[in-house]
Amino acid sequence: MSGSAVFYRNPGDEYPTIIRGQGCYLWDDLGRKYLDLSSGISATAGIGQGRADIAEAMTAQVTQLAFIHNARVTNDPQETLASRLADLSPGGTGKVMFTSGGSEANELSLRIARQYHLARGEPDRTKIVSLTPSYHGATVGALSMTGRLDINRDYAPYLLPVIRVPAPITYRGQWTGLSADEVSRRFADAVGDAIEAEGAHKIAAFIGEPISPSAGLAIPPEGYWPRIREICDHYGILMIVDEIITGAGRTGRFLGIEHFGVVPDLTNLAKGLGGGYVPLGATLISDHVADTISTAKRQMAEAHTFSGAPLSCAVGLAVLNVIEREGLVEAASEKGHVLQSLLRDHLLDLPAVGAIRGIGLMQAVEYVKSKETKEIYPADAGVAQSLWSGMWERGFLLGTMRVGNTLVGDCTFFYPPLIIDEAELERGVSALREVIQERSMGWD
């Protein structure tokens, strides 16, 4: 790409050009067709590409009102989308603020938490507790909360101090083999212990993903999130849930946290909310947080230019219409069971496949040097990259990642559009089996 003026994320890599998308398929500039098992590589294009209904909604809004800043006025799409999201959220969540994406939404949560504690007369509550490994975005606040040294290590001098506790991962590590109740207690107690050690009067919020790609999609035990909710309530700390990937139906519920029966104080959405058609994020705010800030006459004066922009919100409404009209939340649940069964039936017998886990249409395959020891492949084996390239060559886009800490190694992630059919899922899983068989000989 030496002739390109783009400064790429990895400047030394070659970047193929995608020129068209339709449904679950993409085409490059050489005319090759790809089945997208990743929703645009980032779990974003959840309702499929090239939809005429979304284009019609976008055109109608552009011809009426494309943009107005929300500092002093509001607009109908913003009002309607906020109401729809409040209705879709767990009880007690009645207010919404919009952003341009997930990093901004997570960062907005920091500012809301600050205003909430100022309103309560507790200005010393400034610290955040987050999980490691985790990922919350690329802005300074979101990157500070991210529990991934491979991502935020270089930026440490710019980042905010954050208290880190271990994410509930039990595939390997010291708590492997414990009962679900014991795992829930120990991992949640680690949060309580960290709060006590720092001093609860200094803690503003806890943030976590219901199910985290950075944790290899490890599913927390049933009692974990309810216990976290109890701890936050006990210490007067806000519970922030990052639903950037898990939200908008991907897990088979509109919000991933619904699987665990708790209601957060702040819930952040993005990616699937805009469906890849516009940059759009949202923070869902519980009534008690919004009322506390309002009663104290505090303000959220800081606003991004496109927060609540009519075009983005109109598209968000159209995306929700598709999700509801086509039953895509229910479809994600049903197809998720199919996908996990396919993965288990086609892959678990392979020596390099250590674990298959996930929920709904977000499923992970983790690779190991030994099924017995669960040893992670070394970085120079290039497992994640070889899987990506092998699938690409066969006409599939499938997300791969090397987390590379002591608890999670190389994984492939299935985040297909919610409209995908079972035959397409089977084609993808069969292709992955071929790639693993072909490439794994070179990993040792």
Q: In the listed set 325, 343, 368, which residue is the last one of a domain according to the structure?
A: 325
pLDDT at 173: 87
Q: How many CB atoms lie within 10 A of CB 150?
A: 13
Q: To 5 degrees, how large is the angle CA 6–CA 51–CA 45?
A: 50
In a domain, 368, yes or no: yes
Number of domains composing the chain? 2
Domain range for 229 is: 54-325
Do 358 and 375 lie in one domain? The reply is yes
Distance CA 304, CA 70 (A): 9
In a domain, 281, yes or no: yes
| Domain of residue 114, CATH code | 3.40.640.10
Contact assessment for residue 202 and residue 236, using Cβ atoms and an 8 Å cutoff: no
Contact assessment for residue 400 and residue 412, using Cβ atoms and an 8 Å cutoff: yes
pLDDT at 1: 53
Do 78 and 121 lie in one domain? The reply is yes
3-class state of residue 286 by DSSP: strand
**Cα 311 from chain centroid?**
23
| Domain of residue 379, CATH code | 3.90.1150.10
Distance CA 35, CA 121 (A): 54
In a domain, 7, yes or no: no
pLDDT at 2: 64
Do 154 and 165 lie in one domain? The reply is yes
pLDDT in tens, the chain (444 residues): 568 899 998 888 889 999 999 999 999 999 999 999 999 999 999 999 999 999 999 999 999 999 999 999 999 999 999 999 999 998 889 999 999 999 999 999 999 999 999 999 999 999 999 999 999 999 999 999 999 999 999 999 999 999 999 999 999 988 898 899 999 999 999 999 999 999 999 999 999 999 999 999 999 999 999 999 999 999 999 999 999 999 999 999 999 999 999 999 999 999 999 999 999 999 999 999 999 999 999 998 888 899 999 999 999 999 999 999 999 999 999 999 999 999 999 999 999 999 999 999 999 999 999 999 999 999 999 999 999 999 999 999 999 999 878 899 999 999 999 999 999 999 999 999 999 999 999 998
Do 36 and 150 lie in one domain? The reply is no
Tokens representing 194 are 């960290």
In a domain, 283, yes or no: yes
In a domain, 3, yes or no: no
Do 266 and 134 lie in one domain? The reply is yes
Do 368 and 230 lie in one domain? The reply is no
**Bridge partner residues of 96 (DSSP):** 284
Q: In the listed set 282, 298, 325, which residue is the last one of a domain according to the structure?
A: 325
In a domain, 4, yes or no: no
Do 61 and 22 lie in one domain? The reply is no
In a domain, 101, yes or no: yes
Contact assessment for residue 181 and residue 189, using Cβ atoms and an 8 Å cutoff: no
pLDDT at 344: 98
Q: In the listed set 325, 357, 392, which residue is the last one of a domain according to the structure?
A: 325
Do 36 and 120 lie in one domain? The reply is no
